[in-house]
Amino acid sequence: MSDKVVTRFAPSPTGFLHIGGARTALFNWLYAKHTGGTMLLRIEDTDRERSTDAATAAILDGLSWLGLTWDGEPVSQFERAPRHRAVAEELVRMGKAYYCYATPAELEAMRESARAKGLPPRYDGRWRDRDPSEAPAGAKGAIRIKAPADDETVVHDLVQGEVRFPNKDLDDFIILRSDGNPTYMHAVVVDDHDMGITHIIRGDDHLTNAARQMVIYRAMGWDVPSMSHIPLIHGADGAKLSKRHGALGVEAYRAMGYLPEALLNYLARLGWSHGDDEVMSIADMIAWFDIGDVNKGAARFDFAKLEALNGVHMRRMNDAELLDIFINTLPYLEGGPAIAARLDDTRKAQLLAALPGLKERAKTLVELADGAVFLFAERPLPIDEKAAALLGGEARETLRGAHAALKAISGDWTAEAAEAAIREYAVAGGHKLGAVAQPLRAALTGKSTSPGVFDVLAVLGREESLARVADQID
Ligand code: GLU
């Protein structure tokens, strides 16, 4: 056997890829990349009532958007049911598991008596040592594994440390139901073994399952993979993550205008750190990530931090790359489709030229789109309320002079040339620069805020700029 690391992400397709699932996938992916290993994807679709194809598609879409690639085809757990059954039957043949014919009424009585004693519900092992010939005629039993009764089961967890489970708490749990379907507990073990998983990295809500799953590994004589149970994400107030806190599907983060790289950076830093480094590229994360450095304590989700980090990533990304991501994200952004519909080559070039100014004022792609709307507006521009206020009173006269000054520019139409012309006009007319620049901005963009007004003039070009200003004078 090679030493190559094989991790897996094993979502249940009962809903979207939520933010906690994305973080689990990220840690599996980073660990695989960091060690030169592979990450596999298994869709845990054994629960036929709750699993849907739409959820599977949404999960794959979410992972792809984030760039969390998996190796090979996704494995369907449901399709492997015959193999799960075969292993359960093999365990019976090996004397490590047995058929149990306890009736629902008997099981209910066992639960009831445990409850009365204040104990957790537990199967009493009544079929464990009985001869198969005692099976009631025609009854289909469930298969239960023989769990160890004494001593303890120890999970050596890379995140949680040594976690001890007294074996007296593990009862002989079912691995194959009487209808022939495997239980989830059993399916996970058989799949992880068959897929050659060396490292299991998953939410710490699965920690107690780990002890039960070890019983199955041991019974089959299989190696137990390395285990890492990562803490769940909580809201900023410490409570379990809810929708209000950001427990949304990752596609909601795409629609809110976050960059995949920034979201991954934020999720990686939730519960893991590398010195004081806050801002990390994907390459940094791969180089620095180690699963053993993940904290045990619950991580807290904080929208404000995510937003600030997203702004940093936008500003440090090169403009061509940011433009690419922006264009690809437009269909998902509020107001994005309208921009996408009008994006020809000229406007793409304008957008690229405006990007340095736009990204200084935007923390998300939604804000970027909002800032870029002026490029795509049709004349006469809709003027918002604040901009209209800037165009009242004396402003129209001032604007008339500014229009003439701009029109008189004889050389190249650049931000510098526009600035020189406007400054000269302001000085000559005894205007403060702002008294000229503000109405100019309002006329050019229909808004009271925008990138630097001279950059706006340069990006829009001579003809369009002069026409927009003229619209507000006449
Ligand atoms: N399907 C499980 C879940 O979505 C994960 C099980 C595992 O990683 O072992 O929570």
Last residue of a domain, one of 356, 375, 394: 375
CATH number of the domain that residue 392 is part of: 1.10.10.350
Q: Which residue of 8, 206, 212, 230 sits with most ligand 1 atoms within 8 Å of its CB, as the best mutation to test the pocket?
A: 206
Q: Is 455 in the pocket of ligand 1 (CB under 6 A)?
A: no
Q: In this structure, are 407 and 453 located in the same domain?
A: yes
**243 marked as binding residue:** yes
Average pLDDT over residues 401-423: 96
Q: Is 10 in the pocket of ligand 1 (CB under 6 A)?
A: yes
Average pLDDT over residues 26-48: 97
Q: In this structure, are 414 and 459 located in the same domain?
A: yes
Q: What pLDDT does residue 246 have?
A: 60
Is the pLDDT confidence value at 211 over 50? Answer: yes
CA of 260 to the centre of ligand 1 (A): 23
What distance lies between CA 240 and its chain's CA centroid? 17
Q: In this structure, are 90 and 214 located in the same domain?
A: yes
Q: In terms of residue numbers, what domain contains 406?
A: 385-473
Q: In this structure, are 115 and 215 located in the same domain?
A: yes
Q: What pLDDT does residue 319 have?
A: 97
CA-closest residue to ligand 1 atom 6: 10
The C-alpha atoms of residue 92 and residue 143 are separated, in whole angstroms, by 8
For 347-390, how does the pLDDT look when each residue is reduced to its tens digit (9 = 90+)? 999 999 999 999 999 999 999 999 999 999 999 999 999 999 99
Atom of ligand 1 nearest to the CA of 44: 1
Last residue of a domain, one of 176, 206, 230: 230
Q: In this structure, are 446 and 394 located in the same domain?
A: yes
Q: In this structure, are 31 and 104 located in the same domain?
A: no
Q: Is 11 in the pocket of ligand 1 (CB under 6 A)?
A: yes
Burial (Cβ within 10 Å: 0-12, 13-18, ≥19) of residue 425: buried
pTM of the model: 0.91
Which residues are tagged catalytic? 243
Quick one: pLDDT band at residue 224, thresholds 50, 70, 90? very high
Q: Is 419 in the pocket of ligand 1 (CB under 6 A)?
A: no
| Amino acid in the structure at residue 220 | M
Q: In this structure, are 125 and 197 located in the same domain?
A: yes
β-bridge pairing 38-43 and 161-166: unpaired
CATH number of the domain that residue 122 is part of: 3.40.50.620
Helix axes 365-376, 345-360, angle to 10 degrees: 130
Is the pLDDT confidence value at 30 over 50? Answer: yes
The C-alpha atoms of residue 278 and residue 268 are separated, in whole angstroms, by 10
Q: Is 210 in the pocket of ligand 1 (CB under 6 A)?
A: no
- Number of domains observed in the structure of the chain: 4
Q: What pLDDT does residue 335 have?
A: 85
CA-closest residue to ligand 1 atom 5: 10
CA of 238 to the centre of ligand 1 (A): 23
Quick one: pLDDT band at residue 243, thresholds 50, 70, 90? low
Q: In this structure, are 89 and 63 located in the same domain?
A: no
Q: In this structure, are 116 and 206 located in the same domain?
A: yes
Q: Which residue of 202, 209, 216 sits with most ligand 1 atoms within 8 Å of its CB, as the best mutation to test the pocket?
A: 202
Q: What pLDDT does residue 298 have?
A: 84
Residue 380 lies in a domain: no
Q: In this structure, are 279 and 400 located in the same domain?
A: no
Atom of ligand 1 nearest to the CA of 21: 4
The C-alpha atoms of residue 462 and residue 474 are separated, in whole angstroms, by 18
Q: What pLDDT does residue 168 have?
A: 87
As given in the structure block, the two tokens for residue 2 are 């090679």
